[in-house]
């Protein structure tokens, strides 16, 4: 039997990796990938808590996970559309060069 | 014995399945060349063996003995991974297709239809990886076209599958084939079969939707840098995909293994399935021989402005039927 | 002297899948080649799907493959191919604040794991009765108890669809 905190550890590792990716990468698409990693980690947590929780048949964790998957898909679509629009305008997707608001 | 049921029987089934599929692939190339030749008033292969029946063997030997070349400018790990990734989805989809009464190819999982959808979703990776790793502009264009085409046609395909699912009320393909349906349900299904078939054509990159590998504008697109056995693997993936998708269509729309007396004599099941698959393959080749390739924007517009709304309407209709007539 | 616990078969499988997931996740954030990052991201999604199977959420696992591997990762590779002129050659994939980011992520991880270790988690889980029709129940829950969330999600998806088309549209004829 696999204890619950093993799953939580994997999720924590994935979340930390995603956090690092979202903060440290230069390419906007890579930043988006970091965010996707974090969303996956959160989802893994939800499903693990559902499985080890008291009311398995209520399926709350699974419903949450499905809603988050839908949300992540929408986020990826809008995010990539934004990146492509920026690329068309500035010919770059480097987050450090996108500093028009910096004055 | 428990381990016999758990490991040995599935392994034997998988081996038999692979053997049948690989033989099927070899003779599908022969079938296609013969048929295309007939459509174009030629003879087709007729030198190796009687009616050219040994031609696939000769082709296999040729591909095996070609020198394996990996060009210098490619992204090596991805380049080598691509052909393998192309062929795996075509094979693993078969796990859930029932080939006879109460007899799925490998396992009756309760999520059969979703399995098909999920595997269809990863099918494009081989082409995308090949196009990117080849590191030349034509291949990249091929990969771009492939990923856009895949996303666009997966949507109506998925919605048609959901529609079938709503009518059937089960995820299991074994149950789906065995249930008896009223005539109006068959009619409602067959109404969208041509559209489903178009989606399948696009998903398998078959002519007339073979824009990712056009010979005359992209010099074979994603396949340009591949030769020998690696090229043969892509070729194999495309043809096994044709067989697999034909089997899926036969299962979803034409009753799979069902036919006269198939209930009493179990061995008739695979025979009926085989006949249906061959008939559908004929359709694939017929289309290739007679329809010309659309332009890129026409392809996208057709999916988003026609197939998607129609599939949504079909889904709504299926839901209404299920609620009021069942 | 306490003897080391012998890992069960399930535990070995779990460790293998978890290691695959985390190592691909690490690859996503350290790979210099953006395309390799995207492929490793797809591998990570696969690993998470495997963990869902181990948690007996098969429906979710297939959904994960369908949406993440089939759609999100494909979309990302598509965007990379479209914008590939941006990162030509071997430039540094990290931005100026990567040191601070690494420190922050590491501290966050340590805090999280420390917090995890301090809580007594419920150890076993109840078996699910196999023929209860979990998927049917899931659908039922979605249109009864979670009706509003489902409607909001539908609205959000539609807005995202329209927004994405508007943003990515080329205004030039």
**Residue A40: pLDDT band with limits 50, 70, 90:** very high
Q: Does the CB of A48 have a partner CB in chain C at under 8 Å?
A: yes
Question: What is d(CA B99, CA B101) in angstroms, rounded to the nearest whole number?
Answer: 7
- pLDDT at position C86 is 44
In this prediction, what percent of chain A has a pLDDT beyond 70?
Answer: 95
CB distance B195 to B237 below 8 Å: no
Residue B215 has pLDDT above 70, yes or no: no
Domain that holds residue A57: 4-102
Give the helix, strand, coil percentages of chain A, each rounded to 5.
80, 5, 15
Rg over CA atoms, chain C? 21
Q: Give the separation between CA A16 and CA C105, rounded to whole angstroms.
A: 5
Chain A contact for C35 (CB, 8 A cutoff): no
Mean per-residue pLDDT for C10-17?
A: 85
Distance, C-alpha C170 to centroid of its chain: 31
> C38 in helix, strand or coil?
helix
CB A24 within 8 A of CB C101: yes
- Computed over every residue of chain A, the mean pLDDT equals 84
Render pLDDT for C133-153 as a digit per residue (tens, 0 to 9): 777 788 888 888 888 988 999
Residues C65-102: b if buried by 16+ CB within 10 A, e if exposed: bbbbbbbbbbbbbbbbbbbeebbeeeeebbbeebeebb
Q: Shortest CB distance from B144 goes to which of C36, C70, C78?
A: C78
DSSP β-bridge partners for residue B100: B103
Contacts of C116 in chain A (CB under 8 A): 5, 8-9, 12
Helix B228-253 with B76-92: angle, nearest 10 deg: 30
* Six token digits for residue B281: 């393959």
Q: Do B128 and C77 touch (CB under 8 A)?
A: yes
Strand partners for B103: B100
pLDDT digits (tens, 9 = 90+) for B99-132: 777 666 666 677 778 888 888 878 878 888 888 8
**Distance of residue C77 Cα from the nearest chain A Cα, in angstroms:** 9
- How far is the alpha carbon of B181 from chain C, nearest alpha carbon, in Å? 21
- Mean per-residue pLDDT, A38-50: 89
**Any chain C CB within 8 A of the CB of A27?**
yes
Task: Answer whether B82's CB lies under 8 Å from B91's CB.
Answer: no
- Using the Cβ of C14 and the Cβ atoms of chain A, whether some distance falls under 8 Å is answered with yes
Which chain C residues contact residue B158 at CB under 8 A? 66
Name the token pair of C108. 């966050």
Tell me, yes or no, whether chains A and C touch by having 3 or more C-beta pairs under 8 A. yes
CB B21 within 8 A of CB B94: yes
Q: Give the H or E element holding residue C21.
A: helix C9-30
Residue B261 pLDDT > 80: no
pLDDT at A39: 92
Q: Which chain C residues have any C-beta within 8 angstroms of a chain B C-beta?
A: 33, 35-36, 39, 42, 58-59, 62-63, 65-66, 69-71, 74-75, 77-78, 81-82, 84, 135
Question: E strand or H helix at B195, and its extent?
Answer: helix B193-203
Phi first, then psi: what are they for B61, rounded to 5°? -65, -40
Residue A94 is classified by DSSP as: B
Q: How many angstroms separate the CA atoms of C142 and C139, rounded?
A: 5
Contact (CB, 8 A) for B273 and B250: yes
* Residue C49, preceding peptide bond in cis (omega within 30° of 0): no
Q: Residue B88 in contact with residue B79, Cβ under 8 Å?
A: no
- pLDDT at residue B301 is higher than 70: yes
A17 touches chain C (CB under 8 A): yes
* Interchain contact B/A (3 or more Cβ pairs less than 8 Å): no
- Is residue A24 within 8 angstroms of chain C, CB to CB? yes
> Is the dihedral angle over the CA atoms A60, A66, A72, A75 positive or is it negative?
negative
pLDDT-derived band at C87 (thresholds 50, 70, 90) equals very low
Q: Enumerate residues 130 to 159 of chain C having a beta carbon within 8 A of any beta carbon in chain A.
A: 132, 134, 137-138, 141-142, 146, 149-150, 153, 156-157
CA–CA dist C162, C90 (Å, integer)? 36
The C-alpha atoms of residue B46 and residue B202 are separated, in whole angstroms, by 31
Separation of alpha carbons B237 and A20, rounded Å: 38
Q: How many domains does chain A have?
A: 1
Question: Is residue B144 within 8 angstroms of chain C, CB to CB?
Answer: yes
The rounded distance, in Å, linking the Cα atoms of B302 and B15 is: 40
Residues 6+ apart with CB under 8 A from B8: none
Single pTM value for the model = 0.84
Give which of B114, B74, B120, B112 is closest to B95, Cα–Cα.
B112
Query: Which tokens sit at C136?
Result: 């049917």
The vertex-A86 CA angle with A83 and A87, nearest 5°, equals: 85
Residue pair B146/B205 in contact (Cβ under 8 Å)? The answer is: yes
Question: What does the pLDDT average to over A17-36?
Answer: 87
Q: Report pLDDT for B135.
A: 76
Closest CA to A47 of C67, B304, C63: C63
- Domain C10-85 = CATH 1.10.8.290: no
Q: DSSP states of B152-205 as a string?
A: HHHHHHHHHHHHHHHHH--S-HHHHHHS---HHHHHHHHHTHHHHHHHHHHHTT
**The domain that contains A28 carries what CATH number?**
1.10.287.3510
Tokens for B201?
A: 């054509």
pLDDT tens digits for B31-74?
888 888 888 888 878 777 777 788 888 877 887 787 777 777 77
Residues of C in contact with A55 (CB under 8 A): none
Which pLDDT tens digit goes with each residue over C45-65? 989 999 988 888 888 888 888
Locus of tokens 């869902």: C52
Between B109, B122, B171, which is nearest C69 by CB? B122
Distance between CA atoms of residues C53 and C60, nearest Å: 8
Decide if pLDDT at C66 tops 50. yes
Rounded alpha-carbon distances, angstroms, from residue C150 to A64, A68, B217, C34: 10, 11, 46, 35
């Amino acid at each position: 039997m696999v204890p619950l905190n093993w799953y939580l550890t994997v999720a924590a590792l994935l979340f930390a990796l995603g956090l690092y990716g979202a903060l440290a990468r230069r390419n906007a698409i890579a930043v988006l990938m970091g965010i996707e990693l974090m969303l996956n980690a959160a989802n893994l947590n939800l499903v693990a808590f559902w499985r080890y929780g008291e009311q398995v048949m209520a399926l709350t964790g699974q419903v949450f996970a499905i809603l988050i998957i839908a949300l992540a898909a929408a986020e990826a679509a809008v995010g990539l559309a934004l990146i492509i629009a920026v690329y068309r305008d500035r010919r770059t997707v480097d987050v450090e060069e996108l500093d028009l608001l910096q004055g | 014995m428990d381990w016999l049921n758990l490991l040995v029987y599935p392994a034997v089934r998988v081996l038999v399945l692979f053997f049948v599929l690989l033989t099927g692939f070899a003779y599908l190339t022969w079938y296609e060349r013969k048929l295309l030749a007939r459509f174009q008033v030629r003879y087709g292969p007729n030198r190796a063996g009687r009616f050219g029946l040994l031609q696939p063997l000769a082709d296999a030997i040729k591909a095996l003995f070609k020198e394996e070349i990996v060009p210098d400018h490619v992204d090596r790990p991805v380049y080598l991974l691509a052909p393998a990734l192309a062929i795996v989805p075509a094979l693993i989809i078969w796990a859930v297709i029932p080939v006879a009464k109460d007899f799925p190819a490998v396992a009756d999982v309760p999520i059969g239809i979703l399995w098909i959808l999920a595997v269809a979703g990863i099918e494009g990776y081989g082409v995308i990886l090949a196009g990117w790793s080849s590191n030349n502009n034509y291949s990249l264009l091929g990969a771009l076209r492939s990923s856009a085409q895949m996303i666009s046609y997966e949507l109506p395909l998925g919605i048609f599958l959901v529609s079938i699912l709503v009518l059937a009320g089960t995820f299991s393909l074994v149950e789906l084939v065995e249930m008896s349906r009223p005539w109006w349900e068959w009619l409602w299904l067959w109404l969208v079969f041509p559209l489903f078939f178009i989606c399948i054509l696009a998903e398998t990159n078959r002519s007339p939707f073979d824009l990712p590998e056009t010979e005359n504008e992209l010099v074979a697109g994603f396949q340009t840098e591949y030769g020998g056995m690696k090229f043969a693997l892509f070729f194999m993936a495309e043809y096994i995909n044709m067989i697999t998708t034909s089997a899926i269509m036969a299962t979803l729309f034409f009753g799979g293994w069902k036919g006269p007396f198939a209930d009493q004599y179990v061995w008739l099941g695979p025979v009926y399935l085989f006949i249906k698959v061959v008939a559908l393959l004929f359709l694939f080749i017929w289309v290739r021989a007679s329809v010309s390739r659309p332009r890129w924007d026409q392809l996208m517009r057709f999916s988003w402005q026609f197939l998607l709304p129609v599939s949504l309407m079909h889904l709504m209709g299926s839901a209404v039927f299920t609620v009021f007539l069942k | 002297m306490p003897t080391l616990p012998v890992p069960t078969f399930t535990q070995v499988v779990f460790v293998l899948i978890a290691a695959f997931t985390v190592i691909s996740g690490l690859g996503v954030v350290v790979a210099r080649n953006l395309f390799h990052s995207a492929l490793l991201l797809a591998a990570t999604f696969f690993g998470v799907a495997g963990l869902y199977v181990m948690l007996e959420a098969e429906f979710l696992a297939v959904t994960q493959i369908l949406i993440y591997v089939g759609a999100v990762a494909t979309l990302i590779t598509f965007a990379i191919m479209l914008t590939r002129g941006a990162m030509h050659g071997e430039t540094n994939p990290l931005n100026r604040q990567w040191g601070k980011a690494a420190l922050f992520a590491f501290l966050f991880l340590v805090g999280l794991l420390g917090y995890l270790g301090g809580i007594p988690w419920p150890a076993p889980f109840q078996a699910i009765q196999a023929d209860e029709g979990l998927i049917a129940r899931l659908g039922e829950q979605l249109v009864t108890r979670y009706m509003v969330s489902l409607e909001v999600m539908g609205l959000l998806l539609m807005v995202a669809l329209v927004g994405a088309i508007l943003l990515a549209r080329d205004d030039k004829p």
